[in-house]
């Protein structure tokens, strides 16, 4: 999937959800938020803080409140995207344009803006680098690989360590290590092709 280069292109690419996207965008543009494109999707910022994003999926469109955990949500409309992983972000889903209550959406967005002004945010926790045994052995026995791995950013090192270490079977960890070595030697991150 190619990333959109403009908000209009994003809406056009999701024509089955364009009515909802346009309506949500209109509500957001009535606020003091600045519209931008991040990760190929429309996002709205207060100064340098991401406040809310719009996304379209097969069965719904949604608002993504980046620090939605701080919203009162008296109506119980927000939920986590991934129950175990999501910390601060909350989403609100709309199956059709008729599901969008403009006044209620506007109220939630205004509360989000106030939270951003007050500096309410959950900071991401830094991940620890836990090098799995297979990678550790390869780094010790191959000096050029060790140099290349240590030249990577900490984030890329963690990506490779997690990719290899999270495999449940020994054979899978070894296969992942084999696939990773050329990318490490090239100075590439595991997910660079998606960025």
Query: 3-state DSSP call for residue 46?
Result: strand
Residue range(s) of every CATH 3.90.1150.200 domain in the chain: 7-117
Separation of CA 89 from chain center = 9
Query: 3-state DSSP call for residue 93?
Result: strand
What is the third-level CATH fold of 7-117? 3.90.1150
**What is the C-alpha separation between 37 and 141, in angstroms, rounded?**
45
**What is the C-alpha separation between 68 and 90, in angstroms, rounded?**
5
**How many CB atoms neighbour CB 38 within 10 A?**
12
pLDDT tens for the chain, 195 residues long, are 567 788 999 999 999 999 999 999 999 999 999 999 998 899 999 999 999 999 999 999 999 999 999 999 999 999 987 777 778 899 999 999 999 999 999 999 999 999 999 999 988 777 889 999 999 999 999 999 999 999 999 999 999 999 999 999 999 999 999 999 999 999 998 877 665
What's the token pair of residue 55?
């996304």
The closest alpha carbon to 35, from 25, 46, 27, 43, belongs to 43
**What is the C-alpha separation between 102 and 175, in angstroms, rounded?**
51
**DSSP strand pairing (49-56 vs 41-46):** antiparallel
> pTM for the whole thing?
0.67
Query: 3-state DSSP call for residue 191?
Result: coil
Q: Are 57 and 43 in contact (CB under 8 A)?
A: no
Encode pLDDT of 141-157 as tens digits.
999 999 999 999 999 99
Q: Are 110 and 118 in contact (CB under 8 A)?
A: no
């Amino acid at each position: 999937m190619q990333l959109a280069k403009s908000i209009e292109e994003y809406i056009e690419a999701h024509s089955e959800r364009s009515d909802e996207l346009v309506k949500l965008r209109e509500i957001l543009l009535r606020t003091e938020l600045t519209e931008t494109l991040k990760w190929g999707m429309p996002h709205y910022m207060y100064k340098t803080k991401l406040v809310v994003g719009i996304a379209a999926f097969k069965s719904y469109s949604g608002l993504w409140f980046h620090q939605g955990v701080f919203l009162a949500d008296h109506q119980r409309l927000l939920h986590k995207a991934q129950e175990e992983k999501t910390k601060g972000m909350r989403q609100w889903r709309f199956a059709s344009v008729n599901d969008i209550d403009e006044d209620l959406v506007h109220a939630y967005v205004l509360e989000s803006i106030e939270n951003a002004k007050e500096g309410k945010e959950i900071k991401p926790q830094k991940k620890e680098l836990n090098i799995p045994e297979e990678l550790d052995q390869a780094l010790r026995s191959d000096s050029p690989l060790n140099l290349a791995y240590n030249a990577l950013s900490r984030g890329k090192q963690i990506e490779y360590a997690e990719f290899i270490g999270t495999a449940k079977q020994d054979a899978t960890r070894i296969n992942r290590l084999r696939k990773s070595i050329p990318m490490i030697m090239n100075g590439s991150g595991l997910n660079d092709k998606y960025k």
